[in-house]
Chain A
Amino acid sequence: MASLTPTTALGGTTAFDETIGGIRIAEQGAPVMASLAMLKGKASAFTKAAGAHLGALPGPGRIQVYNRIGTVWMGPDQYLVEGMGAAALAAAFGASAAVTDQSNAWVRFDVTGDDVVAMLERLSNADSRRMAQGDATRTAIHHMHCVVICRAGGTEFTILGPRSSAASLHNTLVAAAASL
């Protein structure tokens, strides 16, 4: 029986990584992600599990990073967790949460460099200039629903976009980096 070799969202077996001018655009090949949503009447158990496994729950516009696990606020009682798989999350939260694997739903690009804010200004109406470490926001980039996460104010950001549009998002990022 054949064994299956995974590909990255851009379709390669190795992740794309390029520096354009002062900006490095690096695809993260195999992200581990899951959605986490609180079920009705389970606030107490949910919060307790979150405290134990995710540190705490982030508020709107924020990501909570704890033990290398990032939790992004996506909506009321809804979160996107990176760095902890769906099975582990489901086990940790039990009946208090709806968990869905999202590892294959997103393409993740890490963009770093001194000009990153100038680049993001060409892409999204998120106020990336004022974003500090720990800020995260849902936004649109060239018509695509994306999440922009600030890892270090002014210089390090993560952009999550729909996996099926990875090529379009990638083109958009490269064009913006080259246009500065």
Chain B
Amino acid sequence: MTQVNRLDGGLIDRDTPLAFTFDGRPFTGYAGDTLASALVANGVRLVGRSFKYHRPRGIISAGSEEPNGLVELRNGARREPNSRATMTELHDGLVAASQNRFPSLGFDLMGVNDRLSAFLGAGFYYKTFMWPKAFWERVYEPIIRRAAGLGALSGEDDPDVYDRGFRHCDLLVIGGGPAGLTAALTAGRAGAEVIIVDEDFRAGGRLLQERFTIGGQGGAAWAGAVTAELASLPNVRIMPRSTAIGVFDHGIYGVLERTGDHVMAPQAGKPRQIFWRIYARRSLLCSGATERLIGFANNDRPGIMQAGAVRGYVNRFAATPAERVAIFTNNDDGHRTATDLAAAGVDISAIIDSRHDAPSSDVAEVMAGAVVSGTSGRLGLGHVKVSLADGGHRHVDCGALAVSGGWNPNVHLTCHHRGRPAWQDDIAGFVPGEGVPPGMGVAGAARGIFSTAGALADGQARAIAILAEIGITATADSLPEAEDAAVRITPLWHVPGRKRAWLDQQNDVTVKDVKLAHQENFRAVEHLKRYTTLGMAGDQGRTSNVLGLAVMAELTGRTIAETGTTIYRPPYTPTPIAAFAGRSVGPDFRPTRLPPSHHWAVEQGASFVEAGAWLRAQWFPREGETNWRQSVDREVLATRASVGVCDVSTLGKIDIQGRDAGAFLDLVYSNGFSSLAVGKTRYGLMLREDGMVMDDGTTARLGETHYVMTTTTANAGGVYRHLEFVRQCLRPDMDVQLISATDSWAQFAVAGPNARHVLQQVIDPQHDISNDAFPFMACAGISVCGGVPARLFRISFSGELAYEIAVPSRYGDAMIRALMTAGEPWDITPYGTEALGVMRIEKGHVTGNELNGTITARNLGMARMVSAKKDSIGAVLAGREALVAEDGLCLVGLEALDGGQVIAGSHLFDADGPVDAAHDRGYVTSAAYSPHVGASIGLGFITGGADRHGEVIRAMNLLEGRSARLRICSPHFIDPEGARLRG
């Protein structure tokens, strides 16, 4: 098909033809077209089916308010449903398809819904399909969900990348129409840092769609000249294809820039879209206005459009929706469309003006006091039925009807901090009211100033005023001459009639639905919105809201001002979740922390596990091992028999210095630390203010005023934050300084009876680490491998003779290799977090599994660690009556009998008796297979546990339907006397 509706002129580049397809049919348009304008030029009126009734629908608007022209763009994984044809920049090879139809757009079987409309009115799902009850979930809802809705997702991963970004400015101008351009120019010339965003790919706003002259040149040319000057100013940034979608706290604006939507696919590595956070000291909303329609019978037929959009297509895109166009208006703006169409040589059937005092026209017959009361035509408009002022009727032939019901200022962003728009009678529309976000000004049509001259003057004046608030002086240069027509409107919201008249075309809401809401007493605007779904579609009711409110006002006998309006929330236009996510997807969802031995562990073929942000080696499989248990059992046995090495750099390390460092530790730990000797390490228990255990770890005293604290891997951040809170807020008088040293040190646990032999190979010989010189819980600054500074701690998590040796992180990779080489004579074995876990359970050491936020020191059998000699955080509340009860939970060891398995999370019950909440005795926190014991073991809490060693109980895992018989025992499965670790 050739471009049958293409006219002369327009802002398109006829030297750059672009090929595209719609529903598989090939078409041609030009650079500068949108998909919508190219379809209009090609005479395509039917573009989609409606949400609920599957009514044939065509394009209504030429902007982002489009409720009907929603299509699927692109193929395969890049398929994007519900894309607005009016905002889709045409490019060569564009593939578009209609949606919500079967088998074809012209013949849609689901069109049967339209005949069933009597059953599908507002709130139908609250009243029908109720019986039988079970059918709702299984039968009705799936059918209704399939029948309704618009486009479908591809179901594949999005192959494109999205970016986030941050920009700062003095003044953010939202909208590039006459008001916005003037404001930006005023601010730019004053030297302010300006960002101007516009959702179109070309700046100018309405000026591109009108034939106005500004200072003697065409509106588009003027916009081009201003844009060129703005582009020449280094302090001004112009962001086309960018929509301000939300106003957030502290002057932060969300702006979606579509950087790659106008090409087939973005270049590799380049984003399709960027979600900008713009930090603006001030903003000026110059978002213009949206024309509304008028409700009349069958007013949703393809070919019925906004009058302003019709002349926009003619003027900007040189495309007419039809050869013959009729106009239906209640204000003077409709006549402007007639003039422009006539100038372009389009035949005008009639101007139907509902006002009895309608002006005359030089270009077409004016039917004053007349209204459109019906339409006909299969899959598109054929003619309209006009009810004349004298009571008669006429049929008017037309392929398109240009409707103007007046203009609504685009106040949406003024509502994002719960601002309430206010009704303004003279323009019959809502303007920004109370509660506009702080720092935001509004100018031009967005606050009801509809003439071009008014917009220019207001843009300038508002920019000067708002810049003055931040101490920037801008001057009022002389403004060019422009049209300055007054608004003349006599509101007409809908033409009464028996047939359905559409208000919200995207959600299929009619005048009848509003009447039903009124009848059923859903009369408040918020109720009306939710009961009928008016304004709840992706367009947020930009062409329909006011109509619905007006109909409700009419029914209740109140004014629209009294009726009020619902407000708007971000995003202003639909925004892909991918844009919010930016690069935080897949493996890059969050950053990873790698321990210093990571690259070495990868070489060993280790299996890795995420521990918070860390990626830790979980075990090191060897040839011949077919499952993880074999690897883990081997690592445990080898460590206990000879020596093993494990990277424990992930434990939190906090450097604590100051004259009050000891007193500070006395406060944050329940046990004492100021008494710790230099060169010694002590286990510490840290309580929350409420007396529950927060974390545990060892702290070493490196000097009189210098300690280094170790935290669990998982709690490193939380403990550091807690210590800072204590330092800054609770005891600012203390002389203490903190800093994280976690990343600074590569720390390795070397454990097993031969640990000392291995370390003696790497530690410089002047350091004596014999048992006498360096006993259990000693610590020291030493050097290794010929002078590399290091720290050595004689502490043991495994229960073996063990050390932790720390070197600066840059030597971590070399250190693990040196330890492995040094340990060869003793068959040193690297072990991962699984073996670490097995050995600590065998030794009865607690971790995050046990310290679950509900556990006290008493529960752990460590009540004596809460020193009564001093004050410490949590000590008082740890003494609460319920927390010191004799029959409280107590940490125990658990051993499975009969070859059974201990499962973490199981609850514990007496050997006999009911299994219910009333008889719950406790629960299992940790479980492992112990190669040392030769059975499945675990740790858990059980009431009165200290006195129940030897007792057989049941563990029930109701979630998995499993149970086991367990014997309660000491939590120390290995070396309860601690002889090994002191050896």
CB distance from B704 to the nearest CB of A (A): 11
Kindly supply a per-residue 1/0 record for chain A positions 147-180, scoring 1 wherever the CB is within 8 Å of any chain B CB and 0 otherwise: 0000000000000001111111101100110110
Given A11-B813, A30-B810, A122-B164, residue A165 in contact with residue B592 (CB < 8 A)? yes
Given A162-B593, A168-B592, residue A39 in contact with residue B737 (CB < 8 A)? yes
Say whether B786 contacts A179, CB under 8 Å. no
Q: Which residues of A contact B164 (CB under 8 A)?
A: 122
Given A104-B745, A179-B161, residue A127 in contact with residue B592 (CB < 8 A)? no
Say whether B807 contacts A167, CB under 8 Å. no
CB distance from A109 to the nearest CB of B (A): 14
Interface residues of A in 94-131 (CB under 8 A from B): 98, 100-106, 121-122, 124-127, 129-130
CB distance from B977 to the nearest CB of A (A): 36
Q: Which residues of A contact B880 (CB under 8 A)?
A: none
Chain A interface category by residue count:
35 or more
Q: Which residues of B contact A176 (CB under 8 A)?
A: 163
Kindly supply a per-residue 1/0 record for chain B positions 260-272, scoring 1 wherever the CB is within 8 Å of any chain A CB and 0 otherwise: 0000000001110
CB distance from B306 to the nearest CB of A (A): 37
CB of B821 within 8 A of chain A? yes
CA distance A126 to B261 in the complex (A): 28
Interface pairs (23), CB distance under 8 Å? A2-B785, A2-B817, A4-B788, A7-B599, A7-B812, A7-B814, A11-B594, A41-B735, A78-B737, A100-B741, A104-B810, A122-B163, A122-B164, A122-B165, A130-B193, A143-B590, A143-B591, A162-B593, A162-B743, A164-B594, A164-B809, A175-B269, A179-B269
Say whether B814 contacts A4, CB under 8 Å. yes
Interface residues of A in 29-63 (CB under 8 A from B): 30, 35, 37, 39-41
Say whether B740 contacts A105, CB under 8 Å. yes
CB distance from A130 to the nearest CB of B (A): 7
Given A125-B279, A142-B584, residue A6 in contact with residue B810 (CB < 8 A)? yes
The one of B614, B762, B809 in contact with A1, judged by C-beta atoms closer than 8 angstroms, is B762
Say whether B785 contacts A1, CB under 8 Å. yes
CB of B658 within 8 A of chain A? yes
CB of A137 within 8 A of chain B? no
CB distance from B645 to the nearest CB of A (A): 14
Kindly supply a per-residue 1/0 record for chain B positions 656-668, scoring 1 wherever the CB is within 8 Å of any chain A CB and 0 otherwise: 0111000000000
Say whether A1 contacts B761, CB under 8 Å. yes
| Count of B interface residues, CB-CB < 8 Å | 62
Give me the 4 closest cross-chain CB pairs, A-B, nearest first: A168-B591, A98-B657, A40-B735, A4-B814
Q: Which residues of A contact B584 (CB under 8 A)?
A: 142-143
CA distance A9 to B595 in the complex (A): 11
Say whether A127 contacts B813, CB under 8 Å. no
Say whether B658 contacts A39, CB under 8 Å. yes
Kindly supply a per-residue 1/0 record for chain A positions 1-18, scoring 1 wherever the CB is within 8 Å of any chain B CB and 0 otherwise: 111111111010000000
Say whether A4 contacts B737, CB under 8 Å. no
Given A1-B761, A4-B814, residue A39 in contact with residue B735 (CB < 8 A)? yes
B contacts with A: majority SS: mixed
CB of A144 within 8 A of chain B? yes
Q: Which residues of B contact A172 (CB under 8 A)?
A: 583, 588, 591
Given A124-B166, A143-B590, A175-B583, residue A105 in contact with residue B744 (CB < 8 A)? yes
Interface residues of B in 274-298 (CB under 8 A from A): 274, 277, 279
CA distance A178 to B266 in the complex (A): 12
Q: Kindly list 15 other residue pairs between chains A and B, CB separation below 8 angstroms, not including A4-B807, A4-B814, A4-B815.
A: A2-B821, A4-B788, A5-B814, A7-B813, A39-B657, A40-B659, A103-B808, A105-B741, A106-B743, A121-B165, A144-B591, A163-B744, A165-B613, A169-B591, A178-B269
CB distance from A134 to the nearest CB of B (A): 18
Q: Which residues of A contact B742 (CB under 8 A)?
A: 164
CA distance A144 to B583 in the complex (A): 14
CB distance from B835 to the nearest CB of A (A): 22
Say whether B786 contacts A1, CB under 8 Å. yes
CB of B168 within 8 A of chain A? yes
Q: Which residues of A contact B788 (CB under 8 A)?
A: 4
Most buried by A among B165, B741, B762, B784: B165
Nearest-neighbor residue (CB-CB) of B810 within chain A: A6
CB distance from A146 to the nearest CB of B (A): 11
Q: Which residues of A contact B168 (CB under 8 A)?
A: 127, 129-130
Nearest-neighbor residue (CB-CB) of A38 within chain B: B737
CB of B226 within 8 A of chain A? no
Q: Which residues of B contact A171 (CB under 8 A)?
A: 588
CA distance A101 to B655 in the complex (A): 10
Kindly supply a per-residue 1/0 record for chain B positions 901-934, scoring 1 wherever the CB is within 8 Å of any chain A CB and 0 otherwise: 0000000000000000000000000000000000
Q: Which residues of A contact B144 (CB under 8 A)?
A: none
Interface residues of chain A, those whose CB is within 8 Å of chain B, are 1-9, 11, 30, 35, 37, 39-41, 78, 98, 100-106, 121-122, 124-127, 129-130, 142-144, 162-169, 171-172, 175-176, 178-179
Q: Which residues of A contact B487 (CB under 8 A)?
A: none
CA distance A106 to B809 in the complex (A): 10
Kindly supply a per-residue 1/0 record for chain B positions 384-411, scoring 1 wherever the CB is within 8 Å of any chain A CB and 0 otherwise: 0000000000000000000000000000
CB of B822 within 8 A of chain A? yes
CB of B678 within 8 A of chain A? no
CA distance A167 to B595 in the complex (A): 11
CB distance from B701 to the nearest CB of A (A): 15
CB of B767 within 8 A of chain A? no
Say whether A37 contacts B743, CB under 8 Å. no
CA distance A63 to B945 in the complex (A): 59
Say whether A11 contacts B745, CB under 8 Å. no
Interface residues of B in 344-372 (CB under 8 A from A): none
Q: Which residues of A contact B813 (CB under 8 A)?
A: 7, 11
Interface residues of B in 122-180 (CB under 8 A from A): 161, 163-168
Q: Which residues of A contact B270 (CB under 8 A)?
A: 178-179
Interface residues of B in 738-764 (CB under 8 A from A): 739-745, 761-762, 764
CB of B211 within 8 A of chain A? no
CB of B811 within 8 A of chain A? yes
Q: Which residues of B contact A3 (CB under 8 A)?
A: 785-786
The one of B279, B592, B734, B808 in contact with A101, judged by C-beta atoms closer than 8 angstroms, is B808
CA distance A126 to B741 in the complex (A): 25
Interface residues of B in 611-645 (CB under 8 A from A): 613-614
CB of B949 within 8 A of chain A? no
CB of B512 within 8 A of chain A? no
The one of A37, A166, A167 in contact with B739, judged by C-beta atoms closer than 8 angstroms, is A37
Q: Which residues of A contact B807 (CB under 8 A)?
A: 4
Given A4-B788, A101-B744, A164-B743, residue A121 in contact with residue B167 (CB < 8 A)? yes
CA distance A142 to B581 in the complex (A): 11
CA distance A11 to B915 in the complex (A): 55
The one of A5, A104, A169, A179 in contact with B809, judged by C-beta atoms closer than 8 angstroms, is A104
Say whether B762 contacts A35, CB under 8 Å. no
CA distance A58 to B274 in the complex (A): 35
CB distance from A57 to the nearest CB of B (A): 16
The one of A98, A130, A143, A165 in contact with B737, judged by C-beta atoms closer than 8 angstroms, is A98
CB of B818 within 8 A of chain A? yes
CB of B598 within 8 A of chain A? yes
Given A3-B786, A179-B271, residue A40 in contact with residue B592 (CB < 8 A)? no
CB distance from A166 to the nearest CB of B (A): 8
CB distance from B237 to the nearest CB of A (A): 9
CB distance from B613 to the nearest CB of A (A): 8
CB distance from B744 to the nearest CB of A (A): 4
